[in-house]
């Protein structure tokens, strides 16, 4: 049940039976499963897009009330630093100090999800759950009484050369710049990595898929449980490939430095392969090169001159996906929004993208081939193939959607 922030009589969602349900959890760091349960309960009533609030009430076991207050005070400080948090307050009942009330205000459901699965939140649940009484738990989801303003931030480009690259202390000659997202947190992450001539990485795996675009130079990357130069494959600038979860791989800048653009779904996790063995290795998993331009593009059913191909994942899932779109000269995608943030790499031509709820050519920004730009969640935008055809490689963490943004 949704309730408005200005509703005089606030309806109670009730005691969450899900808090005490017996389910399987995907997060070992949260053995009590509060992250899964709370997110499912909130997602059932929160708006799919835009801001919402939460009112939470629970009772601490009397002997743990002060300790729980300390934990939640620290939690509030951390939550307020998250870009998607608009407010996080913790209150105790003056006459019943074991009674806690939380007020939270989130930019959107994606921001709340990132918070629920952040390491420090999972740690709070792990430590704090046994301190909370099983009775008296309540949750209220609040929605705005008036329509929230649309996100008019608009698309913005990120120049790889201007991005701050931080040297990796473990791997000499390798430096990484964060382009979008926060590597230690859940959600879409885009990074730009520079390998100086001679730099290399040991064999390692990731528990998630990683997509890579070679932006400069020639990348030499091998697949296998041991570092073997004979297994290195050359990927020239413009190459796109996917390193699947559990694939043991290694990198070597053997013929000069090179640069790559990586996308993955955080949090960042790297497992080193020791003497050809690691628990995370998936037998047979290997790097898969993909030519986006040659992929099977299907014509868009509504927008003439537009076609697309799915290269990785699915847009309606909650995982990382990658798509490639082609627009013929003169094609127009009218103003629309997405619930999730998208990152875009222009693979050919010049893409013209404008911000607003009506097509206005004076607002178009030209993004030439090789440009990387970001479209924030909820930002109304339109796309025009103004000076000829172009193509783009998009990444996001679903679910995604296409919502018309008319005046």
Q: Is the pLDDT assigned to residue 277 strictly greater than 80? A: no
Across 30-50, average pLDDT: 80
Which pLDDT does position 312 carry in this prediction?
A: 96
Residue 22 pLDDT level (bands cut at 50, 70, 90)? very low
Helices (H), 1-154: 34-43, 65-79, 109-116, 119-128
Residue 72 makes CB contacts below 8 A (sequence gap 6+) with: 90, 100, 102, 124, 128
Residue 36 banded pLDDT, cuts 50, 70, 90: confident
Q: By C-alpha distance, which of 56, 66, 41, 36 is closest to 131?
A: 66
Mean pLDDT of 102-129: 89
In the sheet where 381-384 sits, what is the strand order? 365-368, 350-355, 381-384, 332-337, 403-404
Distance CA 92, CA 101 (A): 6
Mean pLDDT for the stretch of residues 51-78: 91
Confidence of residue 21 (pLDDT cuts 50, 70, 90): very low
Asked whether residue 23 carries a pLDDT value surpassing 50, the answer given is no
Q: State the pLDDT at residue 149.
A: 45
pLDDT at 25 over 50: no
User: Rg of the chain over CA atoms, in angstroms?
Assistant: 24
Mean pLDDT to the nearest integer, 215-225 = 96
Which residue did the predictor score with more confidence, 344 or 407? 344
Which pLDDT value is given to residue 31? 66
Gap between the Cα atoms of 86 and 142, Å rounded: 14
pLDDT at 233: 97
User: Mean pLDDT, to the nearest integer, of 226-245?
Assistant: 96
pLDDT at 342 over 50: yes
pLDDT at 45 over 60: yes
Q: How confident is the model at residue 153 (pLDDT cuts 50, 70, 90)?
A: low
Is pLDDT of 383 > 80? yes
Average pLDDT, the chain: 86
pLDDT of res. 30:
62
Q: For 295-314, write each residue's pLDDT tens digit.
A: 999 999 999 999 999 999 99
Least confident range from 320-324, 327-331, 395-399: namely 395-399
Is 209 a residue whose pLDDT tops 80?
yes
Quick one: what percent of the chain has pLDDT higher than 70?
A: 88
86-107: average pLDDT: 88
Location of structure tokens 């990198």: 251
> Given a cut of 60, is residue 152 above it in pLDDT?
no
pLDDT score at 15: 29
pLDDT band at residue 28 under the 50/70/90 scheme: low
- Average pLDDT (220-225) is 94
The sheet carrying 306-312 orders its strands as 156-157, 372-375, 342-348, 390-397, 320-327, 306-312, 298-299
């Amino acid at each position: 049940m949704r309730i408005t922030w200005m509703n005089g009589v606030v309806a109670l969602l009730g005691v969450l039976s899900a808090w005490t349900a017996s389910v399987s959890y995907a997060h070992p760091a949260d053995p009590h499963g509060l992250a899964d349960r709370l997110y499912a309960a909130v997602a059932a009533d929160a708006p799919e897009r835009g801001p919402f609030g939460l009112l939470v009430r629970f009772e601490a076991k009397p002997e743990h009330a002060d300790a729980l207050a300390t934990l939640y005070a620290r939690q509030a400080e951390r939550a307020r630093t998250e870009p998607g948090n608009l407010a996080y307050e913790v209150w105790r009942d003056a006459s019943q100090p074991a009674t806690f009330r939380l007020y939270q205000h989130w930019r959107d459901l994606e921001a709340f999800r990132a918070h629920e699965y952040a390491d420090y939140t999972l740690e709070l649940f792990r430590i704090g759950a046994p301190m909370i009484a099983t009775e008296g738990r309540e949750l209220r989801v609040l929605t705005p009484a008036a329509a929230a303003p649309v996100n008019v931030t608009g698309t913005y480009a990120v120049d790889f050369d201007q991005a701050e690259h931080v040297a990796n202390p473990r791997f000499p000659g390798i430096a990484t710049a964060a382009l979008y997202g926060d590597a230690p947190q859940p959600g879409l992450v885009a990074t730009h990595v520079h390998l100086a001539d001679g730099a290399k990485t040991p064999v390692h795996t990731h528990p998630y898929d990683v997509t890579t675009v070679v932006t400069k130079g020639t990348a030499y990357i091998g697949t296998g449980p041991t570092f073997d130069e004979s297994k290195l494959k050359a990927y020239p600038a413009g190459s796109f490939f996917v390193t699947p979860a559990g694939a043991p791989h290694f990198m070597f800048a053997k013929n000069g430095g090179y640069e790559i653009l990586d996308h993955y779904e955080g949090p960042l996790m790297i497992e080193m392969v020791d003497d050809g063995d690691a628990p995370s290795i998936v037998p047979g998993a290997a790097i898969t090169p993909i030519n986006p331009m040659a992929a099977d593009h299907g014509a868009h059913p509504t927008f003439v001159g537009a076609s697309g191909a799915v290269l990785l994942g699915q847009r309606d899932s909650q995982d990382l996906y990658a798509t490639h779109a082609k627009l013929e000269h003169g094609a127009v995608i009218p103003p629309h929004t997405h619930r999730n943030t998208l990152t875009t790499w222009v693979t050919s031509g010049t893409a013209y993208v404008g911000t607003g709820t009506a097509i206005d050519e004076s607002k178009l920004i030209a993004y030439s081939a090789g440009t990387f730009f970001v479209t924030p969640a909820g930002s109304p935008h339109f796309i025009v193939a103004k000076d000829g055809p172009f193509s783009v490689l998009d990444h996001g963490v679903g679910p995604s959607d296409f919502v018309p943004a008319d005046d």
